[in-house]
Amino acid sequence: MLINLNVNPEVRARNVKLCREKGIILPTFKQMIDPSTVPADVKAKLAKTGLWDVNPVNLFRITWKNEPVMQGGGFGGVNYIEIPKKLTGVKARILALVGKYFPTGAHKVGATYACLAPALATGNFDAMNQQAVWPSTGNYCRGGAYNSALLGCQSIAILPEEMSQERFNWLKTVAG
């Protein structure tokens, strides 16, 4: 499915107004890939912000290159672990990416941002009059609800009833 990049100027203007009022800056995909391009004032705000704080500046933490700390922190290399050859029994290096240092502790914030941000920027989603719906078995729902809160959007989180009460309680703090 392709992303609709047709612009709805009326809705886009409302979304821009909302973002300005709430101090929301949308990081570019380039900034997410290469955090060295993130402006210094944003980095200074991140140094004072917790990884899970519902603060729009955390949109800039949607990257594999977060410093591995829960409070403050900047950027570094990609977070990964190497599985020792003694455990794998193979000659090839096996690396596992670590999503723990994304906001919400899951890399799905990136997937949901990639859906919601272009729709906001083009006016194909009306943050004032629509709700984002995030159905999943877990992390996609969490990422979508969290990003919606950071972007000033109302959202509905849908999870199977068998999920942990802790997850439902957390979602109640960021989604409808």
What's the DSSP call for residue 50? B
The pLDDT, as a whole number, for residue 3 is: 67
Q: Residue 123's Cα: distance from chain center in Å?
A: 20
Q: How many CB atoms lie within 10 A of CB 3?
A: 10
| CA pair distance 60, 112, nearest whole angstrom | 14
Q: What's the pTM?
A: 0.90
Return the bridge partners of 80, or none.
97
Residue type, 115: C
Q: Residue 114's Cα: distance from chain center in Å?
A: 9
Neighbour-count burial for 8-29, b at 16+ CB within 10 Å, e otherwise: beebbebbeebbeeeebbbbee
- Domain boundaries defined on the chain: 9-174
The pLDDT, as a whole number, for residue 53 is: 95
Q: For the chain (length 176 residues), average pLDDT per consecutive 10?
A: 82 97 95 95 96 96 94 93 95 94 91 94 96 91 95 93 88 87
| CA pair distance 117, 137, nearest whole angstrom | 22
